[in-house]
Amino acid sequence: LYRKAAAPTSGSFLLLGPSGAGKTALFTLLESKSSRLEKSTKPTHISQTSSSTTINLSPTIPIASNRYRSINDPSLSEASKIPVTYHLRDTPGHGKLRELQGISQLRAMLHPKKSKSGMRGVIFVVDAASLSEQNEALRDAASYLHDVLLILQKRALNNGKPSSKIAAEVAVLVAANKQDLFTALPPGSVRDKLELEIDRIRKSRGKGLMDSSVNPGGSDEEDILGGDDGHGMFSFKSLAGEVGVQVDVIGGAVKSDKEADVGAGVRRWEEWLGMCL
Ligand code: GTP
Ligand code: MG
């Protein structure tokens, strides 16, 4: 039996975000959609380790590299039959495991020599229903996201010019999950809440660094997250303009009450993935 050699993956993505957000549920859904092996609604539980897989992007999802091909290009129809694959890594979100898992994985994947297929993006999953209930969940999500953005900022600024090409390559999707629940905040509110909370974190850390000015000669400028909107407030838009780290907040749902809808709730996230490939 002949088998075509597996095409190299087009890029890698890392799933980050607080515990219970739905990372493993999303990972499992995308994996089962890709292999068409089984129904996607496997129960998940708190993850303690990371896992990774290779996924075929649904053929109906456009990829960014297609944009540069002419519609008249005869190779297009042929080329679009080759499945576009990407590498996806799930990480545990529990606060005690972040430094050793999610954050370490992020650093490793950003390392130019380490990653075989290029790191394209972070999918930061949040439970949009939990953010409306308790402030603790918001603080937790925002501080994790803040740390992730700071790592991406440092990398972007180390590449030289803030707008250098390499810096723009790692994008962040904030997946405002669980939109099937009526208690879920719409993506716009998720963005506003996260921006406000990140602003607080950024200011208090900035103050902390100023106070500890005993620190001789060590300009800690780059330890403070940028993205000031000109009125002293943090915004994702300003972060993109200033540092070149793009953050998109898009709503969706891994789960659906209607069996036939399973998978439809993640379509816009897959489109985001496609745009990074
Ligand atoms: P950790 O492994 O602890 O970091 O959590 P996780 O982000 O992997 O969360 P997980 O995927 O285990 O999901 C947590 C719970 O949320 C599970 O009970 C899921 O079934 C549920 N869940 C995930 N996505 C959705 C969704 O879109 N809607 C609803 N209603 N529940 C969801
Ligand atoms: Mg998990």
Q: How confident is the model at residue 167 (pLDDT cuts 50, 70, 90)?
A: very low
**Contact (Cβ atoms closer than 8 angstroms) between residue 13 and residue 118:** no
Q: Take residue 16 and report the two structure tokens written for it.
A: 């980050």
C-beta 58 within 6 A of ligand 1: no
Domains of the chain by start residue, with CATH: 12-210+221-276 (3.40.50.300)
Question: Is 50's C-beta closer than 6 angstroms to any atom of ligand 1?
Answer: no
Residue 247: which region, alpha, beta or left (left: phi > 0; alpha: psi -120 to 50)? beta
Residue nearest to atom 10 of ligand 1 (CA): 22
Q: How far apart are CA 194 and CA 223, in angstroms?
A: 19
Q: Which atom of ligand 1 is nearest to the CA of 45?
A: 12
- Cβ–Cβ < 8 Å for 26, 179: no
Query: Which residue, 269, 271, 275, is CA-closest to 27?
Result: 269
Q: Choose one of 52, 105, 178 to mutate for the ligand 1 pocket test, by most ligand atoms within 8 angstroms of C-beta.
A: 178
Is the CB of residue 40 below 6 angstroms from any atom belonging to ligand 1?
no
Alpha-carbon distances, residue 15 vs 1, 78, 266 (angstroms): 36, 31, 14
Q: Any idea which ligand is nearest the CA of 28? A: 1
Q: Supply the pLDDT for residue 62.
A: 85
ipTM higher than 0.85? yes
Tell me the three state secondary structure of residue 177. strand
Minimal-distance CA residue to ligand 1 atom 26: 178
pLDDT of residue 264: 79
- Segment 70-83, tens digit of pLDDT: 445 555 555 555 67
pLDDT > 80? residue 138: yes
| Closest by Cα among 36, 175, 44, 151 to 99 | 151
Q: Comparing C-alpha atoms, which of 89, 105, 98 is closest to residue 26?
A: 89
In DSSP notation, 194-251 reads: HHHHHHHHHHHHHHHHHHTTTS-S---GGGS---B-SSS-B-HHHHHHHH---EEEEE
The pLDDT tens digits for 232-259 are 999 999 999 998 899 999 999 998 766 6
Q: Is 93 in the pocket of ligand 1 (CB under 6 A)?
A: yes
